[in-house]
Amino acid sequence: MRSGSLITARDAADRRIEVLALPGSPLDPRSQGTNGLIRDGATLVQNVDDILNVLSKTDRMETPPPEPYQIPSLEVVEISEKERTEIHKKLLENIAHDPIAVDELCRWCHVSADIVQSFLLELELAVQIQQYSGSRVSRLIPRD
């Protein structure tokens, strides 16, 4: 009775938004929530026509359509060859064979996450590191 979906449905009803509910067996305690919604005024759904009827009656122009998503422009950071070499060296000094969190690596190397991620990708493609779930990386043992 206190599930998130029921709280959302009650909130929608309080805002005068149409709520639809599928009935369940009155003998099944798991159906108390949806049956209660119907008792309190939610539209009973027995088939797809019930849903289509509600949708046809709803004035879709009440709320304006959302603004289209704008992709933020990316700032290109230019790094000199000297800086590249220093960052590469710092990263390799701080990546051990035991996995380390990328966030920690950024703090220890004093380099932003986007730059660290691009270097990590290069190192992974060069088969020098391995990336793990949870944003962790470790150094690979070179094979002879």
pTM score: 0.47
Tell me if 115 is assigned to some domain: yes
Structure confidence by residue, pLDDT tens digits, 37-86: 999 899 999 999 998 888 888 655 456 667 787 777 777 778 899 999 99
Residue 117: pLDDT band (50, 70, 90) is very high
Structure confidence by residue, pLDDT tens digits, 27-44: 888 888 889 999 989 999
Co-location of 87 and 42 in the same domain: no
Co-location of 44 and 89 in the same domain: no
Q: Is 41 left (phi over 0), alpha (psi -120 to 50) or beta?
A: left
- How does DSSP assign 57-112, residue by residue? HS-TTSSPPPPPPPPPPPPPPP--HHHHHHHHHHHHHH--SS-EEHHHHHHHHT--
> Does residue 72 contact residue 79 with C-beta atoms inside 8 Å?
no
CA dist 103 and 120 (Å) reads 12
Structure confidence by residue, pLDDT tens digits, 88-105: 999 988 898 899 999 999
Number of separate domains in the chain = 2
Tell me if 71 is assigned to some domain: no
Domain containing residue 88: 81-139
Co-location of 94 and 126 in the same domain: yes
